[in-house]
Amino acid sequence: MNQVQNSPAEPLELPSCVKHVRVDDRDVYLVGTAHVSKQSVQDVRQTVEAVHPDTICVELCASRHRAIVDRDGWRKMDIMRVIRERKTPFLLAQLILSSFYRKLGDQLGIQPGADMAEGVRLAKETGAQLVLADREVEITLKRTWRHLGFLEKFKMVGQLLMGLLFAGKIDDQVVESLKKKDQLEILMDAFADEFPQVKRRLIDERDVYLAQKIRQAPGKTIVAVVGAGHVSGIEAHIHQDIDLTPLVVLPPKTNIAKFLKWAIPIAILALIAWGFFKEGQSHAMESAFIWIGLNSVLAGLGAVLAWAHPLTILTAMVASPFTSLNPMIAAGFVAGFVQAVIRRPTVADLEDLPQAITTLKGFWTNPLCRILLVVALVNLGSSLAAFISGGWIAARTF
């Protein structure tokens, strides 16, 4: 324990994880928690009981808050809408994170995120105002994703899928290290050394965001429940008035990305046409077969790996050669839509989702997860096919 002074009042007995900060004429108590620790739940409760805050801030965004207060929210998911809005990659990433955390929670005997849930519960119980202080998770993931290069994205997707395929029992040493990390940090932690820019979007930007939301919170006494890894960053920024607008805007796609989106398919068609005029019809036909064959095989293989329905596999194989030439649509989304129509998740499937994602078999067999895997793996196969076949056609043409 350490003693923290609450202005002229008598000293308070607070957990050692609590950092007291004076912001103008207000008292802010930063409770640095571990998201997989029973002790952190007790620390949150003890701090709130000691200081009787006007406001409780929690390191949650609106969507993560809904997941806590509405455990049955999966039942309401519209998978067709998710596919149409192209949100399947981010939903898949969140499910992989949830899968990891559930395994961790099973080993520790505590629900991951229980510290935040306790903050939410105490706000309701005591009448304190609840402030959701974190940036929306989708914005965080999209900002992280868009600041990666093309090859880095491929590499990261591959590592995520490999982590899902070969995830086993989490040993005690890993568990202890994870107790000190932020929930979202774990999603990208394995890539920190190879992708240093990830830390800036995932941790540093959120330190600033959290600090400003806590600074702007109403009331004279504020308790902020945040991951221990954020405390020092929040303390460094909480006395500054910082405009958060740049941190919630998605970076526009670069001109190079826009150019390549259309330049690659145009180049492929131009190479086939050049081959026709240079070498004749047979050469052009062979190039076309290379394009169609590789796209069909690799996209179809992606669907097979996702255990897709035979009609979905066929759709992926037929769609990929054409969608690879059309930047406005991707083969994975077409295949995922077909899979969703053929095997649309039922309420029972959605209810089973939290349990299904704790095992590799469950992840692959749950209909909702399978749709997400179809989209991801077919898109991956189609993209690889476009680059391999494009290079092959260019090499044989010149």
Strands 18-23 and 26-33, bridge-based pairing:
antiparallel
How do 129-132 and 55-58 pair as beta strands? parallel
The pLDDT value given to residue 395: 86
Q: Dig out the tokens for 397 from the structure.
A: 């043409």
Whether residue 295 has pLDDT greater than 60: yes
In the chain, the percentage of residues whose pLDDT exceeds 90 is 37
Calculate mean pLDDT across residues 116-136.
95
Angle at 331 between CA 328 and CA 332, to 5 degrees: 110
Could you report the per-residue pLDDT of 171-180, keeping only the tens digit for each?
Answer: 555 555 555 5
Q: Give the pLDDT band (50/70/90) at residue 310.
A: very high
What's the mean per-residue pLDDT of the chain? Answer: 81
Picking from 70, 243, 64, 188, the residue whose alpha carbon sits closest to that of residue 137 is 64
pLDDT, mean of residues 319-331: 88
Q: Taking a C-beta distance cutoff of 8 angstroms, is the pair 284, 346 a contact?
A: no
Asked if 15 and 46 count as a contact pair (C-beta separation under 8 A), the reply is yes
d(CA 57, CA 10): 24
Domain boundaries, given as residue ranges, for the chain: 2-76+110-248, 255-397
213 vs 11, higher pLDDT: 213
pLDDT at 275 over 70: yes
Inter-residue contact 340 to 334 (CB < 8 Å):
no
According to the model, what pLDDT value does residue 6 have? 43
Q: Please state, as a whole number, how many other Cβ atoms lie within 10 Å of the Cβ of residue 165.
A: 11
Q: Give the 3-state secondary structure of residue 199.
A: helix
pLDDT bucket at 20, cuts 50 / 70 / 90: very high
Q: Give residue-wise pLDDT tens across range 185-241.
A: 554 455 555 666 777 888 889 999 999 999 999 999 999 999 888 999 999 999 999
Share of the chain above pLDDT 70, in %: 75
28-72: pLDDT as tens digits? 999 998 766 788 899 999 999 999 999 999 999 998 888 777 766
With bands split at pLDDT 50, 70 and 90, how would you rate the model's confidence at 77? low
Of 121, 111, 114, 143, give the one whose Cα is nearest residue 48.
Answer: 121
What integer pLDDT is reported at residue 4 of this predicted model? 42
Q: What is the DSSP string of 349-394?
A: HHHHHHHHTTSHHHHHHSHHHHHHHHHHHHHHHHHHHHHHHHHHHH
Q: What is the mean pLDDT of residues 102-114?
A: 68
Q: Which of 141-145, 168-172, 331-335, 338-342 has the lowest mean pLDDT?
A: 168-172
Radius of gyration of the chain from its Cα atoms, rounded to whole angstroms: 25
Q: Would the pLDDT of 23 be above 90?
A: yes
* Helix 347-356 × helix 367-397 angle, to 10°: 80
Q: Which residue has the higher pLDDT, 273 or 210?
A: 210
Mean pLDDT of 320-327: 88
